[in-house]
């Protein structure tokens, strides 16, 4: 019988366990996907730990907001897809029942996109959430244009690394922020035009130095907390700041830059919009084809080691996404 990862209570990685249960047939308009790999995202760890932004029905909840595989069965009325097509799951808002941590999931046909040619299964599992978020936050929300200086916090994380590549692909100038000087060379190698390490640098002052005194046109923040005030000073007058993450649990200070436009971005809302998903999929396919977009993968685990994959992710910053091969 197909295997699936479930949890009956929230807590540490050990609440996750692999069970066997009968698969389900796709209903009208749905496809069943045989999952080949999925990525561990911060949201998965929050949900598992009982910090989900919305209630999760227990027991027997599933997990996982992104993954890749092949179409395994078509429900009545599905057109434009065939059994065997390689796909990426493009939206799983109901992850607690259809989560990607499984050998199979069944989703509406509109919730898959073609897997970009030239990407292996592990890379494809690490692509969608980070790159969708980076592209849509920068381009669709903040209106990033070629030549813009883009300040990216948590630049060594999945979204941050994706944002560096997205900015480069579109001719913008990515300025990477990390808390650790030790990551400078790694981030320059990842495509950052400059690195600002907050263990010994002031973000606003350094940003002005890298932008001829003007400040960043766009700030992408995946941290929040009191650092937001400093970021607003790093942005130019009339610039845009888009927040996507919440890694610093402390209250966020109100930004001191009065002409800054602040956006709060949630990719889930856009991932169910076919027009936006279509634009992002086209952008990612082109970037993968030219080699401009290359998801960084730190470690790969097997499905039986899903607990270990979460333990590893919980330990903190890694050198790319953590992926589980199914």
Ligand X SMILES: NC(=O)c1ccc[n+]([C@@H]2O[C@H](COP(=O)([O-])OP(=O)(O)OC[C@H]3O[C@@H](n4cnc5c(N)ncnc54)[C@H](OP(=O)(O)O)[C@@H]3O)[C@@H](O)[C@H]2O)c1
CA–CA separation, 175 vs 210, rounded Å?
Answer: 8
Query: Binding to ligand X by residue 267, rule CB under 6 A?
Result: yes
Nearest residue to 175 via CA among 227, 262, 234: 234
CA–CA separation, 315 vs 29, rounded Å?
Answer: 40
Q: Is the alpha carbon torsion for 90, 94, 99, 104 positive or negative?
A: negative
Q: Closer to ligand X at the Cβ: 67 or 86?
A: 67
Q: How far is CA 96 from the centre of its chain?
A: 18
Hey, which residues does 113 pair with through a beta bridge?
A: 88
Q: Closer to ligand X at the Cβ: 33 or 152?
A: 152
Q: 202: how many CB neighbours lie within 10 A of its CB?
A: 14
Among 106, 165, 178, 211, binds ligand X (CB under 6 A): 178
SS3 314: helix
Q: Closer to ligand X at the Cβ: 66 or 217?
A: 66
Among 4, 43, 91, 309, binds ligand X (CB under 6 A): 43
SS3 311: helix
Sole window of 7-15, 228-236, 263-271, 273-281 interacting with ligand X (rule: CB under 6 A) = 263-271
Token couple for 315 = 């330990």
Among 123, 160, 191, 215, binds ligand X (CB under 6 A): 160
Q: Show the site string, 231-260: x = touches ligand X by CB under 6 A, - = not.
A: -------------xxxxx------------
Query: Binding to ligand X by residue 223, rule CB under 6 A?
Result: yes
Q: Closer to ligand X at the Cβ: 106 or 243?
A: 243
Sole window of 49-57, 83-91, 108-116, 178-186 interacting with ligand X (rule: CB under 6 A) = 178-186
Among 82, 114, 266, 282, binds ligand X (CB under 6 A): 266
Sole window of 19-27, 36-44, 66-74, 234-242 interacting with ligand X (rule: CB under 6 A) = 36-44
| Contact set for ligand X, span 305-324 (CB under 6 A) | 317
CB of 296 to ligand X, least distance (A): 9
Q: What single DSSP character describes residue 255?
A: P
Phi-psi region of 171 (alpha: psi -120 to 50; beta: other; left: phi over 0): left
132 and 280 in contact (C-beta within 8 Å)?
Answer: yes
Q: Closer to ligand X at the Cβ: 179 or 208?
A: 179
SS3 272: coil
Note the residues at the interface with ligand X (CB under 6 A): 41-43, 129-130, 133, 154, 156-160, 178-180, 183, 222-223, 244-248, 265-267, 317
């Amino acid at each position: 019988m197909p295997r699936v990862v479930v949890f009956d209570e929230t807590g540490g990685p050990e609440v996750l366990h692999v069970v066997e249960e009968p698969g389900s047939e796709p209903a009208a308009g749905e496809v069943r996907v045989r999952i080949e790999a999925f990525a561990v995202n911060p949201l998965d760890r929050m949900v598992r730990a009982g910090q989900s932004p919305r209630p999760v029905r227990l027991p027997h909840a599933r997990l996982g907001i992104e993954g890749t595989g092949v179409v395994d069965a078509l429900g009545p009325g599905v057109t434009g897809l065939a059994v065997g097509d390689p796909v990426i799951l493009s939206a799983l808002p109901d992850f607690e029942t259809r989560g990607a941590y499984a050998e199979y999931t069944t989703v509406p046909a509109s919730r898959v996109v073609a897997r970009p040619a030239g990407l292996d299964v592990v890379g494809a599992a690490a692509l969608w959430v980070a790159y969708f978020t980076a592209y849509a936050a920068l381009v669709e929300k903040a209106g990033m244009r070629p030549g813009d200086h883009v300040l990216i916090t948590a630049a060594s994380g999945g979204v941050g690394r994706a944002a560096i590549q997205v900015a480069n692909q579109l001719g913008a100038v990515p300025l990477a922020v990390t808390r650790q000087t030790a990551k400078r060379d790694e981030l320059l190698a990842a495509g950052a035009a400059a690195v600002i390490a907050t263990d010994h640098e002031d973000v606003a002052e350094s940003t002005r130095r890298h932008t001829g005194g003007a400040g960043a046109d766009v700030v992408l923040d995946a941290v929040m907390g009191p650092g937001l005030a400093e970021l607003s000073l790093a942005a130019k007058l009339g610039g845009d700041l888009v927040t996507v993450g919440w890694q610093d649990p402390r209250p966020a200070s109100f930004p001191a830059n009065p002409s800054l436009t602040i956006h709060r971005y949630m990719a889930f809302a856009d991932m169910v919009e076919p027009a936006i998903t279509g634009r992002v999929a086209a952008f990612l396919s082109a970037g993968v084809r030219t080699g401009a977009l290359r998801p960084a993968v730190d470690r790969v685990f097997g499905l039986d080691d899903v607990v270990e994959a979460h333990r590893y992710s919980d330990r903190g910053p890694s050198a790319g996404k953590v992926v589980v091969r199914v």
